[in-house]
Structure 1
Amino acid sequence: MRLDKLLGHTGWGTRKELKELCKSGQVTINGDICRDSGRKVDPQEDVVSVGGQVVSYEEYIYLMLYKPAGVVSATEDNVSKTVIDLLPRQYQGSRLFPVGRLDKDTTGLLLLTNDGTWAHGITSPKKHRAKHYQAVVEGHIPADLGERFASGIVLDDGLHCLPAEARQTGDHTIAVVVEEGKFHQVKRMCAAVGLTVTKLHRSSIGQVALDERLQPGEFRPLTEDERNSLSL
């Protein structure tokens, strides 16, 4: 692998910036100064450092993010802050993207990766991965809420949703479990039974639950068990 590709992947700058970084003598390979940003390195064998800081390279990255309200589930946006903007420099060159999406005002568990095959396995409708949400709603919660969701809600545009789960958890709160991820799906399903969602939070995808230690905007790498559970 070219040195500049490795450094770019780990967030050290653009190719032009990395060329200057090397020329300045700040980059070493196995302790020796390297001024050639095009030099080939082995990420598994060579120790690359920038300004004395060892560069840690991972080809594929898998993160759990506590998405806060007000940011969009996208890699870039001309108006709003994105979930990628929440990450430190070391991840900025890794081509991470959100696995699926949460609405701008929705909070909770969002997965980020640069592994397209793994991501497709999670978002594929064939996998029927359960996604758990908690919603604050306005309106009268119908007594037959669970039965109506279980029978398959029909949205206002005629779309038939797969059977889902819903139950009342408080005077103005409900828990919803869906296996799809269509546009505004939970909000639209609630609207179909006369409810307006004012707050929505996703707590889990499949067997992976949002880490309770994370605060909005914080993230951590997935464990191997978590990653593998989403690959099944």
Structure 2
Amino acid sequence: MIDIRKRNERGHADHGWLNSWHTFSFSNYFDPKQVGFSDLLVINDDTVAPGRGFGAHPHDNMEIFSYVLDGALSHQDSMGNGSMIKPGNIQLMSAGTGVVHSEMNGSKNNPVHFLQIWVMPNVRQKTPNYQQIHVSDAEKRGTLRLIISPNGENGSLSIRQDTKIYAGLFDKDEEITFTADPNRHYYLHVAKGSIDLNGKEFKAGDGARIRKESALHFSKGQQAEILLFDLRPNELPERI
């Protein structure tokens, strides 16, 4: 079963310096039917104006994943990490007992477009942790490349949850059939372009809750960039 969530059904906030689309309930946007899926709590599709961003603010007990689509995102945190995140760089911050961080547009001239994603952890009050890797376009081209997993397998980042996240780029005749476990839940987010999943068309910003499927066939991509989440078979996030 593939339950489509159209891009124009998402929550929207335009603050001038920040244009944000919320897949799930976040901040002033609340929909009782959209409060997460399995351990996936937040997918915010953010575009930040040049020289602006999110100043220092705290988090705890959350797995926070940033995925830059265009531009550059400047990260600083209370663990002493500082980095410039660009397309291809994958960042994961495990907030644990607490961390303060900022995320600013790293350019004074161009906007930055990125996804911020929150996953509920399966342990609380652990030491905060920061990880970052680079995954080239070639590694994602025409396939689903594992970028986050519980055990950091195949060079992926290690998350504190029974969750795997894949990224892929698809264009023209590139296609793949992903073997799914019908006893797991999956979530698709289309970040750019358009693509077909099992014969259904998805455009940038569209998503889908996926249940009881054994094969996910991606085809007819048009400059598509997608994320696929492999999740526990729970309907809603559980706060431990």
> TM-score scaled by structure 1?
0.29
Larger Rg computed on CA atoms: 1
Of Structure 1 and Structure 2, the greater helix share is in: 1
**TM-score, with length taken from structure 2:** 0.29
More strand per residue: 2
